[in-house]
A and B are shown apart, each in its own frame.
Chain A
Amino acid sequence: MTDGHLPYLIAAYGLVWLGVLLYAVGLGRRNRKLEREVDELRGLLDRTGEGRPQP
């Protein structure tokens, strides 16, 4: 076995880091989108609540 197998080593570590990075970036984006959605819905709920007649 020789250093000729180096591309396999690079491919294995590269693939792991690419896979983890893509998943983490996707998860971060999903969380930010959901946070924005929660804020928007809370704002909408506040406005809806204000628009309702007080008991």
Chain B
Amino acid sequence: MIVSRLADRLIPPVTVVAMLAALYLVFVAVPSDAYQGPVQRIFYVHMAMWLDTFTAFGIVGAASFLYLWQRTGRWDRLGRAAAELGLLFCSLGLATGSIWAKPIWGTWWTWDPRLTLTLILWMIYAAYLLLRDLAAEPGQGAVLAAILGVSGVVDLYLINRAVYWWRGIHPAVIATREGGSGLNDPLMRLTLAACLVAFFLLFLWLLRLRLQAQRLQDSVDDLRAVLAGHS
């Protein structure tokens, strides 16, 4: 309880400071890429979107597995909250990638293995959220969504491996196909780290807010049920 309250107080200001530091590094301190120029700076926010997406969908996978195993509502609620955030960051990851691709690849979209698998990932978790609204019974929707939530983890693994297994246009930057890192400048590595930390903190902040909404919704449902019993 104390840790939770402390996190509620600390996460917002720390996130704001981390975000300002990340923005300073991205737009002022870090040098431009010799070949791509300033547009390469999209890389930092693009990577941050994927860290949040993978974290969110990883949480959905784990929570879905635990829900199927234990059938307790808390895992279902956690999975649902994380799926909503994952879909937000996955959409933004696809959008930033597309905006970056246009000047560098000359096209907004290409059916590269990693890009295609990522679009499938987006569809899996959009279906995960839709299933709940479309299912005849809430319990049935939660079980079907959990099955989808677990199976989505396979796609996460395939996305990670795609650049190494298949010949596509998408580069492997952090760990190149030849081994080693594609980021040689220490300031570029620092900027990437700052962006990842800042957007991970933002993810935690939003997840807590989303879980709070879920708890409030549960309270509303419980109170309505009690009132219905009174009348």
Interface residues of chain A, those whose CB is within 8 Å of chain B, are 1-3, 5-6, 8-9, 11-13, 15-16, 19-20, 23-24, 27-28, 30-31, 34-35, 37-38, 41-42, 44-45, 48-49, 52
Contact = CB atoms under 8 A, between A and B. Distances in A.
Contacts of B226: 45
Most chain B CB within 10 A, of A12, A16, A19, is at A12
Nearest to B98: A12
Nearest to B231: A48
Main secondary structure of the interface of A (DSSP, over half): helix
B130 interface: no
Given A16-B45, A45-B223, A5 B99 contact: no
Interface residues of B, number: 37
Contacts, number: 95
A12 B220 CA distance: 38
Nearest to B214: A34
Contact of A45 (B35, B104, B230): B230
B92 A3 contact: no
B3 interface: no
Given A8-B42, A12-B46, A30-B213, A38 B223 contact: yes
A6 B206 contact: no
Contacts of A44: 227
Given A15-B92, A15-B95, A41-B227, A1 B220 contact: no
B133 to A, nearest CB: 16
Give the 4 A-B residue pairs with the shortest CB-CB distance, closest first. Answer: A34-B216, A41-B223, A5-B39, A1-B37
Contacts of A48: 227, 230-231
B220 A8 contact: no
B151 interface: no
B96 interface: yes
A45 to B, nearest CB: 6
